[in-house]
A = this chain, B = another copy of it.
Amino acid sequence: MGANNINVVSSLFVFSIMFLSISSAFRTTAGKSRKQYTPCKNLVLFLHDIVYNGENADNATSAIVAAPQGSNLTILAPHNHFGNIVVFDDPVTLDNNLQSEAVGRAQGFYLYDRKNTFTAWLGFSFVFNSTYHKGTINLAGADPALNKTRDISVIGGTGDFFMHRGIATLMTDAVEGDVYFRLRVDINFYECW
């Protein structure tokens, strides 16, 4: 009798687990909604970009390498820089101080793609090879730069970030003329492996 009671209890428990298992299998294999949005890992990084303007070769971390007709490579183009492609290799720090020790680099490109407002498209990687982290985080997405926050996609990762996916939220932390800007990047990973 006592054993039977235990069995009834365990069977009920098993049924509820079975339900969880089935719904889990369904979600992952049939492409249905996954409702759990808790990040499995989070990073907060600051990226410092100093655009080459023809006179700051020693300090510049980025350069205009393409421009639309009528523009040049040392002055950002008119019409909100529409058509400029900028290649960058920016130091990455853990706080908002350009002089802080860099824990990695942000490497890739952005291009300005709207005439009537500041909007960029980014393809780049965070590259780490320090005690902080080893590996890369690859990102792509649209950056409507005047919005307070902008979300782009973490499309993959390697090393410590093997196969990771997630969302990076960009916030402009400082702007000095057309030469320096600083981004705060909050990365939330939702697939961590």
Give A residues with C-beta under 8 Å from B: 3-4, 6-8, 10-11, 13-15, 17-18, 20-22, 24-25, 27-40, 52, 54, 63-69, 72-74, 82-85, 87-89, 105, 107-109, 111-115, 119, 121, 123-125, 127, 135-136, 138, 140-142, 144, 151-159, 162-163, 165-167, 189-193
Minimum-distance CB pairs A-B, first 7: A153-B156, A31-B40, A151-B158, A24-B25, A125-B142, A69-B73, A3-B4
Task: Select one of B22, B64, B138, B191 contacting A153, CB under 8 A.
Answer: B138
For residue A21, which residues in chain B have a CB less than 8 angstroms away from its CB? 17, 20-21, 24-25
Interchain CB contact under 8 A, A123 and B140? yes
Closest to A135 in B: B151
- B14-A18 in contact (CB<8A): yes
- Of the candidates B27, B89, B152, B162, which one forms a contact with A119 in the assembled complex, judged by CB atoms under 8 Å apart? B89
CA of A66 to CA of B63, assembled, Å: 11
How many copies of this kind of chain does the complex include?
A: 3
User: In the complex, which of the residues B15, B18, B66, B119 contacts A66, with contact meaning CB atoms closer than 8 Å?
Assistant: B66
Give the interface centre of A22, A52, A63, A157 by most chain B CB atoms within 10 Å. Answer: A63
Judging by beta carbons under 8 Å apart, are B32 and A54 in contact? no
